[in-house]
Amino acid sequence: MSTSHASPAAETEIKNFIRTVIDADLASGKHPRTITRFPPEPNGYLHVGHAKSICLNFGIKDDYKARGYASECNLRFDDTNPEKEEDEYVQAIQADVRWLGFDWDGGVRYASDYFERLYQYAEELIGKGLAFVCELTPEQMREYRGDFQVPGRNSPFRDRTVEDNLDLFRRMRAGEFADGSRTLRLKIDMGSPNLNLRDPVIYRIRRAHHHRTGDAWCIYPMYDYTHCISDALEGITHSLCTLEFEDHRPLYDWVLDNVTIGCHPQQIEFSRLELLYTVTSKRKLNQLVTEALVNGWDDPRMPTVSGMRRRGYSPAGIRLFAERCGISKTPNVVDLSVLEGAVRETLEAEAPRVMAVLDPIKVTLTNFEPGTTGSRSAPFHPHHPEFGEREVPIAREIYIERDDFAEVPPPGWQRLTPGGEVRLRYSYVIKCDEVVKDADGRVVELKCSLDPATLGQNPVGRKVKGVIHWLSAEHAIEAEVRLYERLFTVERPDAVRGEDGQYLDFKQFINTESLRVVTGYVEACVRDAAPESRYQFERLGYFVTDRRDHAAGGRPVFNRTVGLKDSWSKS
Ligand code: ATP
Ligand code: MG
């Protein structure tokens, strides 16, 4: 796990074992340039693990282009599974890749564009005696396959003639056979210790409507067969995938060695990103959505790209995170705080700063005098004068944060307390003269006096260390503020075992407090902010106007992106 905290600017030249291979291939002339691809299956929204893969593949293109190579990166939908794929996902995935700051070369590509060619290559393999039509049922197939201890057995249909196989395969395509009644299998080696090489199925019969080819096909190619040929047809130089495909590489290479295709991409595997306190599996994320445990794929608590976007994470923050995760073959288990840290770092310089009060307590400034008591303007960012300034108005009634006042202050307290003084940010020093409580003893108001000589100046003869944020009650506007916490209460929600040794349902570890909605107050200057405007609320954290709901009901809606400090790291 990488926890380096160098500044973004310092992290320019990326080194990893894949780039070492690429550098060598370019230096030796094996390839004049790189062509990589990102190949999602359109069966869900992209998550943070995909973001890592996107940053890797598109990052290689961008960086090698910057070094003078005509590098490219394709976006290809691996749409060989007609039942699970939907156009909604196809659209969302494109939007996510663009939002992350990347663009693909040529049009969007689909494995289904290659169905006819894949079919022709299957006929070629049959013609070479390297594929056969099998009639074993799925159960028989499993039995014949063996396992790690037991070698497989040849299918009784393995020795059909080329003519018979061709005839049967054509009739499979023509729709003469029932779903699942026949498959096309490669003839490799049932005794291989690698189960992927035990005569793998490359075509199955499935009468299902495909999101692009409609009902044109009733046979569909399998992933392993489709992927390598699609890569080769696109002239991919380096086919980067996650480690679980390491054992599939011999099959990837076998297919390309046995069809006439003239291109043989190199498959290189790297470890999957695993993020603690969340799940990164489209299947599990899908469950959260369909069981309404979250509010859709883009719920700000989701580790999806669209969820992170709605949460207020910036593309630069996610890219910085991906860079820090690094690329290797060792397990890549990363704490959520690394992602939050990268996001926080990018927002630090980007987000204008304003004041908001989320849990207000009313303060009456007893010596406030209209026309005499002045106000100042304040910059939106201490280091970016180009962000501009706004007036920070004061009035007789103001709000401060409830936890900036303590009747019985703990040692070292620098905020407000009875008889004590504190500075209002960009304004006066005030002193608490009286605490007003309701019948239950709850503090409902503070009566304070301001020192008129302290607007923008230090008080004379004494030091006031504390500075708190505040708002003028009559100038502030109300806002809905959604306070998000981590979605799960345990590090690995999908890896907790019960007493019987079985995995427990990950959904039982959902943090029921992961969303709290409050009505708070913000400076009036945010009234006209567009959706997806990111701000720092001073002393509180980073917040973003909600993409969907902001201003829709007439008032601002903010999502808390991340706090100002890591409040989760183990002490
Ligand atoms: P999931 O298990 O969530 O469905 P997947 O690997 O099946 O993920 P694909 O759509 O097939 O999803 O993945 C597209 C690309 O993203 C693949 O190259 C895959 O290796 C990569 N990818 C998916 N998950 C991760 C991850 N956690 N870390 C890094 N890369 C990933
Ligand atoms: Mg997959």
Residue 96: inside a domain, yes or no? no
Residue 308 tokens, joined: 């992170």
Among 48, 50, 239, 276, say which to mutate for ligand 1: greatest number of ligand atoms within 8 Å of CB. Answer: 50
User: What pLDDT score does 566 carry?
Assistant: 78
User: What pLDDT score does 3 carry?
Assistant: 38
Ligand 2 center–CA 378 separation, angstroms: 51
User: What pLDDT score does 12 carry?
Assistant: 61
Contacting residues for 520 by C-beta, under 8 A, at least 6 apart:
356, 357, 358, 359, 360, 478, 479, 481
Q: Which has the closest alpha carbon to 506: 293, 244, 271?
A: 293
Chain-centroid distance of CA 348 in Å reads: 20
Residue 33: inside a domain, yes or no? no
Query: Are 118 and 134 within one domain?
Result: yes
Q: Compute, in degrees rounded to 10, the torsion defined by CA atoms 332, 338, 342, 344.
A: 160
Using a 6 Å cutoff on CB, does residue 81 contact ligand 1?
A: no
Q: What angle do CA 159, 164, 167 make, to 5 degrees?
A: 145
As a whole number of angstroms, the distance between CA 24 and CA 9 comes to 26
Contact 302, 336 (CB under 8 A): no
As a whole number of angstroms, the distance between CA 343 and CA 446 comes to 37
Q: Which has the closest alpha carbon to 203: 233, 231, 236, 181?
A: 181
Where among 224, 257, 286 does a domain terminate?
Answer: 224
Contacting residues for 325 by C-beta, under 8 A, at least 6 apart:
2, 52, 273, 332, 334, 338
**DSSP letters spanning 504-529:** PPGGGGB-TTSEEEEEEEE-GGGTTP
User: What pLDDT score does 422 carry?
Assistant: 97
Q: What angle do CA 481, 483, 486 make, to 5 degrees?
A: 160
Beta strand pairing status for 131-134 and 109-110? unpaired
User: What pLDDT score does 85 carry?
Assistant: 74
| Surface-to-core class of residue 63, CB atoms within 10 Å of its CB (0-12 exposed, 13-18 middle, 19+ buried) | middle
Using a 6 Å cutoff on CB, does residue 42 contact ligand 1?
A: no
DSSP 403: G
Where among 199, 224, 249 does a domain terminate?
Answer: 224
Using a 6 Å cutoff on CB, does residue 275 contact ligand 1?
A: no
Active site residues: 41, 272, 282
Among 242, 282, 302, 323, say which to mutate for ligand 1: greatest number of ligand atoms within 8 Å of CB. Answer: 242
Query: Are 345 and 372 within one domain?
Result: no
Chain-centroid distance of CA 432 in Å reads: 46
Residues constituting the chain: 571
Query: Are 314 and 401 within one domain?
Result: no
Q: What angle do CA 252, 256, 262 make, to 5 degrees?
A: 145
As a whole number of angstroms, the distance between CA 494 and CA 513 comes to 19
Number of domains observed in the structure of the chain: 3
Beta strand pairing status for 467-468 and 421-424? parallel
Query: Are 388 and 360 within one domain?
Result: yes
Using a 6 Å cutoff on CB, does residue 328 contact ligand 1?
A: no
Residue 540: inside a domain, yes or no? yes
User: What pLDDT score does 568 carry?
Assistant: 57
Query: Are 349 and 368 within one domain?
Result: no
| Surface-to-core class of residue 528, CB atoms within 10 Å of its CB (0-12 exposed, 13-18 middle, 19+ buried) | exposed
Residue 423: inside a domain, yes or no? yes
Residue 98: inside a domain, yes or no? no
Place of tokens 């006819």: 116
Query: Are 280 and 329 within one domain?
Result: yes
**Ligand nearest, relative to CA of residue 325:** 1
Q: Which has the closest alpha carbon to 108: 86, 72, 80, 77?
A: 77
Query: Are 195 and 332 within one domain?
Result: no
Question: 536: domain range?
Answer: 272-355+476-571
Ligand 1 center–CA 76 separation, angstroms: 13
Where among 436, 468, 500 does a domain terminate?
Answer: 468
User: What pLDDT score does 128 carry?
Assistant: 98
Query: Are 398 and 450 within one domain?
Result: yes
pLDDT block averages, 10 residues each, the chain of length 571: 39 83 98 98 97 98 97 97 87 98 98 98 98 97 96 97 98 98 98 98 97 96 98 98 98 98 97 96 96 97 98 98 96 95 97 98 97 95 97 97 96 96 97 98 97 94 95 97 96 94 96 97 95 97 97 92 78 38
**Ligand nearest, relative to CA of residue 283:** 1
Query: Are 297 and 376 within one domain?
Result: no
Query: Are 513 and 457 within one domain?
Result: no
Using a 6 Å cutoff on CB, does residue 80 contact ligand 1?
A: no
